[in-house]
Amino acid sequence: MSNGDDDPADASEGADAADDAEEAGGAGESTDAAAAPTLPDEATEESLNEYLDEIADRLDDAETEADLDDIDALLDDAEDGLEEADLPEPDEDDEDADDPRGDLEARIAELRDGVEEARGPYAEDVVDAVEGAASTLEDTEWTAAGRDDAADAVVAFVDAAADAVDDGVDADEIEPDTADLEAADADAAEGADGDRIEDLVAALDAVAEAVADADLDPDDDAETISALLDATDGLEAGLDDAEEWDDLETHEQLRAQGYYDVLGHYKDFPVEWAALKEHEARGNVDMILLALDSLQSDFMERHCLEALERMGKRGKTEASVEELLGRAEKRSQPAIRILGKMAADEATETLVDYVPEDSNPQLQKAVFKALGEIGAAEAVQPLANELDPEGDTADLVRPHAARALGLIGDTRAIDPLADALADDDSDDVRAAAGWALRQIGTREALEAVAEYGDEHSFIVSTEAEKAERALDEPAPTA
């Protein structure tokens, strides 16, 4: 093809093509070269459309990748011609106005799409499909029945792939040793499902590698590639139909994981609650977490959390702390209370961040108590800061800060607690400070409380009397 701007090599090729066409014409035959369209010298809407008509005809007749490459080159010329064409611009105020340039651009794009649709199929498409299926097989959580069906789909695909490449690739290269797959089935029967999946993935990897190494030509081996793609379609359909864990109803998942096995019979309603109570009694933290994750009702969530709270330190596992920390980070007060009952020091950093949240007194109360039960020494100063009567902490909250300091038992809290006992206007805060000092229990702490024996406030004087008795008690012998 020539538009007057081609380089000499292109012009020479065009001349050769014309000579060939002339010779063929003399023999009463036609060739692709004779049919090659030429970009019009004067690019108008009509001439460009005629040029694109000829390209469309050529696309219909294309049989090889080389033919499609030629069409892509012709479309490049069409785009260049369109860019140089002097075409009328549409009236911006008229939505229905003709837009010849836009119409021609759309037509070129449509022909481009047609070229891409006509290309291939390619061996790379087969490899991508097989690798995608291998990832699906490996990343999916299958039920027992699903693993069986997935295995059947892989075996059927491997057989189909081997048949498809009889003329293109040595079948022994593409078909894994069937003994491996049979061994995988045997492993699955003994519960080694992970090994089975690994063997099935290895079988697919073997197919993908063999196809990639076969260097299949999209023209010469089009039939083989098409057959392999048909086989991959069957593989993907088989994996889609195989049962995944998420396909099961919640109660089916729980049954499959043995959640209901603790029940001799379903004696309470709902049965999930009956099983939960039994798991709590047996200390089966993993099953309580399973129910918490699987059962989405507020009723069961509340009872699962209450079970963990009652279990306290018995319920502390790496998994339970991780679950509760995730909830605590969202300011869940039940989760914070449970972390305290578990004495989960892993929660200290998260909880200390919540200490100064004066706008949420209920959260502060839960956090203070949890930090006290954990015995978090890192919380001593933040909690002591909350005793300041001039601060923003509510009067109803400050006693909880004092008690938390007593539970922690760190002697650094003696001075701020003594100050609260001496100066605070709230008898509740003062009594809580006295109680906390008694929990710390050193002589200095007890003496700081004992001097308030004549206090007008009964709850404060009661703490002072208890401190006096503690001071009078003989020191324990070694």
Concatenating the DSSP letter of every residue in 170-219 gives: -HHHHS--HHHHHHHHHHHHTT-HHHHHHHHHHHHHHHHHHHHHTT--TT
Environment class of residue 6 by beta-carbon count within 10 Å: exposed (0-12), middle (13-18) or buried (19+)? middle
User: How far is the C-alpha of 105 from the C-alpha of 111, rounded, in Å?
Assistant: 10
Confidence at residue 267, expressed as pLDDT on a 0 to 100 scale: 54
Query: Residue 258 — left, alpha, or beta (φ > 0 → left; ψ -120 to 50 → alpha)?
Result: left
pLDDT of the residue at 380: 97
Helical pair 45-61 and 100-118, crossing angle rounded to 10 deg? 10
- Chain-centre distance of CA 99, in angstroms? 46
For the record, the structure tokens of 60 come out as 């219909």
Residues ≥6 apart with Cβ < 8 Å to 58: 32, 35, 36, 37, 67, 70, 71, 74
Distance CA(239)–CA(201), nearest Å, equals: 13
Which residue pairs from 110-118 have beta carbons closer than 8 angstroms and sit at least 24 positions apart in sequence? 111/52, 111/55, 111/56, 111/59, 111/71, 111/75, 112/72, 112/75, 114/56, 114/59, 115/59, 115/68, 115/71, 115/72, 115/75, 118/59, 118/62, 118/68
Give the C-alpha distances (Å, rounded to integers) separating 165 from 43, 153, 202, 477: 49, 18, 19, 90
Instruction: List 93's β-bridge partners, or say none.
Output: none
Distance of CA 275 to the CA centre of its chain: 31
Residues 6+ apart with CB under 8 A from 3: 38, 39, 41, 77, 80, 81
Helical residues (DSSP H) of 259-317, grouped into ranges: 271-282, 285-294, 298-311
For residue 6, the model assigns a pLDDT of 45
In one-letter notation, the amino acid at residue 122 is: Y
- 3-state percent helix, strand, coil for the chain, nearest multiple of 5: 70, 0, 30
pLDDT at 477 (0 to 100): 55
Token pair 């003062």 is at which residue? 430
Q: What is the reported pLDDT for 118? A: 78
The DSSP bridge partners found for residue 250 are none
Q: How far apart are CA 64 and CA 32, in angstroms?
A: 12
**Tens digit of pLDDT for each residue in 18-31?**
444 444 444 334 44
Q: Are 197 and 188 in contact (CB under 8 A)?
A: no
The residue whose two tokens read 């992970």 is 194
Q: 244 in helix, strand or coil?
A: strand
- Please confirm whether the linkage preceding 270 is cis (ω < 30° from 0): yes
Question: Are 207 and 158 contacting, i.e. CB atoms less than 8 angstroms apart?
Answer: yes
Closest by Cα among 31, 33, 43, 35 to 5: 43
For the chain, which residues score pLDDT lower than 50?
1-32, 34, 168-173, 176-179, 184, 187-192, 478
| pLDDT score for 245 | 65
CA distance 239 to 354: 48
351: enclosing H helix or E strand? helix 348-354
Question: Which residues have CB under 8 Å from 97's CB, separation 6+?
Answer: 90, 91
